[in-house]
Amino acid sequence: ARAQIGVTGLAVMGSNIARNLARHGHTVALHNRTTAKTDALLEKHGDEGDFVRTESMEEFVAALEKPRRVLIMVKAGDATDAVISELADLMEDGDVIIDGGNSLYTDTIRREKEMSERNLNFVGAGISGGEVGALEGPSIMPGGPAEAYESLGPLLESISAHVDGEPCCTHIGPDGSGHFVKMVHNGIEYADMQLIGEAYDLLRRALGLDVEQIADVFRDWNSGDLESYLVEITAEVLSQKDAETGKPLVDVIVDAAGQKGTGRWTVKSALDLGVPVTGIGEAVFARALSSELDQRSAATDLKPGVIGEQPADTDAFVSDVRAALYASKVIAYAQGFDQIRAGSEEYGWDLHPGAMATIWRGGCIIRAQFLNRIRDAYDENPDLKSLLLAPYFRDAVEEGVESWRRVVTTAAGLGIPVPAFASSLSYYDGLRSERLPAALTQGLRDYFGAHTYQRVDKEGTFHTLWSEDRSEVEA
Ligand code: NBP
């Protein structure tokens, strides 16, 4: 037994993580259900480090130093359960099983409980960065027993991305917290991409810029507050020409956005927790709408009823769109961090939002300059009521709010859909409103269902006798 860690599941993610571990000087035992993948990896990259080839699960487990550490990188769901069960039967007290797949956090909570009952350490680790990140340094979000992290941490930190010398990996909290945080990360990624899409659409349809000009705008935006991986690669994708037709690639791609499900999970969880993640929700629904190709093609002749005109000053509108993008992005992150706080309270995880911002600065898909600001905000005030209320973000959004309104108004006038820009602005207006029509909602609920209400001027719970003399009684 000489391997410090084993990786089972050697599709694209597992192979690249295994190579990353080996490149960092760790001896890595390799296992895959079908040995062909193991051999393919060894043939192509076997010279990159110290690998131990194994075929059976028994051989794999026997190749590991104790306490054993196994990273599972198989398809989330039943496959992960099957592999965990097989491994657990072969492992001994104190060994560590790490699930690096995109597992649903409630599955991770269940698995951690099952494994701890068998004296095994179970670590549910969210890993972001796609295949390149897995190889060159991902952002890693491990949840599970703190004792397990003591020995595992240095190993994971060694292969994670680093920003300013700090690893993009930290112990998140107990059981499912790592996968929960990874899920919210993916939800924020959906919102970020939707906002970028809306900005692009406005520059194209409201201003009439061509795709190459829009690529230049994004290239220009990729500095300062908006500097981020997603804005950077937006310029790349928009600049790409289709070899066959010579058109911009974006014009030959079918406009139906796919989803693997983590955005939907985020919204479902937010509904259960009662957290308004409107930015993420709009992003998930916008992808769903885009995929309704039949319905869309049947509806293209609906009357547009346009009442606006193309903005007269191109530069001014581009700058407005930039401000709207930034403000909406602040909202999406504020909502995502609210969900992390709510999840932390619900499950008793004691999560530290500033730590999430720190490990998302590199390696992952939402990596951005912006996250330094979020980290600073939570450093300054760990109990922030909303990210939006941190002085830096408050100033930035207040400075851009008129631009934001102009953009949403223009889009509505011209009939260009901006669900995430518009709902983020509504969220902002809702949050800052002194009175909301929820008072009327309460009145209606009391009328038809005797659901009671509270009064602004005295303590207690009240009900109006709607079907009698309409006098008020204390409930
Ligand atoms: P896949 O999600 O495509 O899974 C393929 C792997 O699962 C293969 O090694 C396959 O073995 C194994 N497997 C399956 Br399928 N069923 C199995 C079973 N019943 N028993 C044992 N092994 C089984 O691979 P991936 O795209 O590399 O992703 C791995 C994990 O990482 C997933 O959970 C994914 O959600 C997550 N993730 C992916 C990305 C990404 O960018 N792709 C990013 C972040 C996280 P076989 O070779 O024998 O069929």
What tens digit of pLDDT does each residue of 225-281 get? 999 999 999 999 999 999 999 999 999 999 999 999 999 999 999 999 999 999 999
Whether 74 is in the pocket of ligand 1, judged by its Cβ within 6 Å, is yes
Q: Of all atoms in ligand 1, which is nearest to the CA of residue 76?
A: 33
Q: Of all atoms in ligand 1, which is nearest to the CA of residue 128?
A: 44
What is the chain's mean pLDDT, rounded? 97
Tokens of 112: 């951690």
At residue 137, the pLDDT reads 98
Give the distance (Å) from ligand 1 centre to CA of residue 213: 39
Give the distance (Å) from ligand 1 centre to CA of residue 30: 14
Give the distance (Å) from ligand 1 centre to CA of residue 24: 23
What pLDDT digit, counting tens, does each position of 396-424 carry?
A: 999 999 999 999 999 999 999 999 999 99
Pairing of strands 69-72, 51-53: unpaired
The reported pTM is: 0.96
Average pLDDT estimate for 346-359: 96
Whether the complex's predicted ipTM surpasses the cut of 0.85: yes
CA-CA distance, 100 to 71, in Å (whole number)? 6
At residue 295, the pLDDT reads 98
| Adjacent-strand bridge partners of 431 | none
Whether 67 is in the pocket of ligand 1, judged by its Cβ within 6 Å, is no
pLDDT above 90: percentage of residues in the chain: 99
Query: Which of 8, 13, 35, 70 should be mutated for ligand 1, with most atoms under 8 A from CB?
Result: 13
At residue 1, the pLDDT reads 65
Tokens of 15: 């192979």
Q: Of all atoms in ligand 1, which is nearest to the CA of residue 37?
A: 47
Whether 124 is in the pocket of ligand 1, judged by its Cβ within 6 Å, is no
Whether 79 is in the pocket of ligand 1, judged by its Cβ within 6 Å, is yes
Give me the sheet containing 69-72, strands edge to edge: 51-53, 28-31, 5-8, 69-72, 96-99, 121-128, 139-143
Pairing of strands 5-8, 28-31: parallel
Give the distance (Å) from ligand 1 centre to CA of residue 347: 28
**pLDDT-derived band at 104, boundaries 50, 70, 90:** very high
Taking the CA atoms of residue 11, residue 14, residue 18 and residue 24 in that order, the dihedral angle to the nearest 10 degrees is 130
**pLDDT-derived band at 123, boundaries 50, 70, 90:** very high
What pLDDT digit, counting tens, does each position of 453-471 carry?
A: 999 999 999 999 999 999 9
Give the distance (Å) from ligand 1 centre to CA of residue 31: 12
Whether 131 is in the pocket of ligand 1, judged by its Cβ within 6 Å, is yes
Whether 414 is in the pocket of ligand 1, judged by its Cβ within 6 Å, is no
What does the DSSP assignment read for 57-123?
HHHHHHTBPSSPEEEE-S-TTHHHHHHHHHHHHH--TT-EEEE-S---HHHHHHHHHHHHHTT-EEE
Pairing of strands 472-474, 139-143: unpaired
Give the distance (Å) from ligand 1 centre to CA of residue 457: 58
- Residue 142: asked if its preceding bond is cis (omega within 30°), the reply is no
Q: Of all atoms in ligand 1, which is nearest to the CA of residue 34?
A: 48
Give the distance (Å) from ligand 1 centre to CA of residue 136: 19
Catalytic residues: 182, 189
Give the distance (Å) from ligand 1 centre to CA of residue 127: 13
CA-CA distance, 62 to 56, in Å (whole number)? 10
What pLDDT digit, counting tens, does each position of 209-219 carry?
A: 999 999 999 99
> CA-based diameter of the chain, in Å?
87
Query: Which of 32, 71, 73 should be mutated for ligand 1, with most atoms under 8 A from CB?
Result: 73
Whether 141 is in the pocket of ligand 1, judged by its Cβ within 6 Å, is no
pLDDT above 70: percentage of residues in the chain: 100
Whose CA is closest to atom 9 on ligand 1? Answer: 9
Tokens of 384: 């922030």
Whose CA is closest to atom 30 on ligand 1? Answer: 101
| Adjacent-strand bridge partners of 53 | 30
Taking the CA atoms of residue 399, residue 403, residue 404 and residue 409 in that order, the dihedral angle to the nearest 10 degrees is 150
Whether 14 is in the pocket of ligand 1, judged by its Cβ within 6 Å, is yes
At residue 224, the pLDDT reads 85
Task: State phi, psi for 252 to the nearest 5 degrees.
Answer: -110, 0
Query: Which of 33, 35, 141, 160 should be mutated for ligand 1, with most atoms under 8 A from CB?
Result: 33
* Cα separation values, 87 from 12, 60, 125, Å: 21, 10, 17
Average pLDDT estimate for 356-362: 95
Choose among 40, 16, 38: nearest CA to 132.
16
H-helix or E-strand spanning residue 143: strand 139-143
Q: Is the pLDDT of residue 66 over 90?
A: yes
